[in-house]
Amino acid sequence: MIILSCSSIRSILDMKSVLIFGLFGLTAALNYQFAEEWHLWKDSHGKSYTSELEELERHSVWLSNRKYIEEHNAHADDFGYTLAMNHFGDLSEREFKDKFLTHEPGNYTSRGVATFKAPQGMKYVDSIDWRTKGAVTSVKNQGDCGASYAFAATGTMEGANALSNDKQVALSEQNIIDCSVAYGNHGCSGGDTYTAIKYVVDNGGIDTESSYSFRGKQSSCQYNSKNSGASATGAVSISYGSESDLMSAVATVGPVAVAVDANTNAFRFYQSGVFDSSTCSSTKLNHAMLVTGYGSYNGKDYWLVKNSWGKYWGDSGYIMMVRNKYNQCGIASDALYSML
């Protein structure tokens, strides 16, 4: 028979109290702030977590991002654009950067890429939107695959093909993700747009999206020439930092692939208006997109840019980025288009 001393009994009771209060604290913590909004957000974006602890951590990040968005929108009239919560809401800045901002700027000079020469004496239209001319396919979603370079490459090839053949054909990003690795790209872990186009040139074509569908991860190359939807003969780059040349190319050629610095929360949660941020870099480029037009809105010149983060990001998958403001975010620092 074991007889416990009074001090031992007190210790056991103390331990039980700690355990009870610990469980009470965890239960209280699980009463999430803005619980209904949080659960609606999770459901709408198909979010699930492996444990209650992970969900608490993600919820904490979500709350921080929610506060940032709310504070920005309180002064949206001063900024000229609004933000909204989206599927990136449970990611920290570092996680977002590591997963999605993986574009590698191309060095066109060393590769001998031709440089665009703007036509002399030409008067350009005040605005243009290549979507209205059948040169832009629907907004796509790269998911968790860090391959914006592939989407920008297909975008400029789709535009050139549509304008040349008067027929819109969606091309396969998965084809590029799987098959341009030998050229120096890294599947879903980054790459550059020129290398993607160079692969298509050397390969003699790129498959259609319908025949080689997007899977969101790199696999072995499955290109089949019978399913080719377009080809390319090369690429033309825009003079580094020249927004005037970029405008000329967009006006006279069609959609142009670009790369920007998207490493800001304002960009990540952009919703509407003309994005104008002095905090982004014109040299540290990390995300590829497609300029599909330009114009002016509420007195601000803008670039109309197609993203690859799905139609629920931004303005139905697009962003208006400020134009003629010192090459903001590097919009003209790494721009090129494909040639048929």
Spatial distance between the Cα atoms of 38 and 45, rounded to a whole number of angstroms: 11
* Dihedral sign (CA 262, 268, 270, 271): positive
Locate all alpha helices (DSSP H) within 101-139, ordered by sequence: 108-111
| Structure tokens that stand for 314 in this block | 């931004």
In this structure, are residues 284 and 103 in contact, taking their beta carbons and an 8 Å threshold?
no
Q: Kindly state the tokens that stand for 195.
A: 């290398």
Question: Which of the following is catalytic: 287, 298, 324, 327?
Answer: 287
Which residue type sits at 294? Answer: Y
Instruction: State yes or no: is 307 an active-site residue.
Output: yes
CA 147, 338, 232: angle at the middle one, nearest 5? Answer: 95
From its phi and psi, is residue 184 left (phi > 0), alpha (psi between -120 and 50) or beta? left
How far, in Å, CA of 240 to CA of 258, rounded? 11
Residue type, 207: D
Q: Choosing from 107, 307, 324, 327, which is the catalytic residue?
A: 307
Catalytic annotation, residues: 287, 307
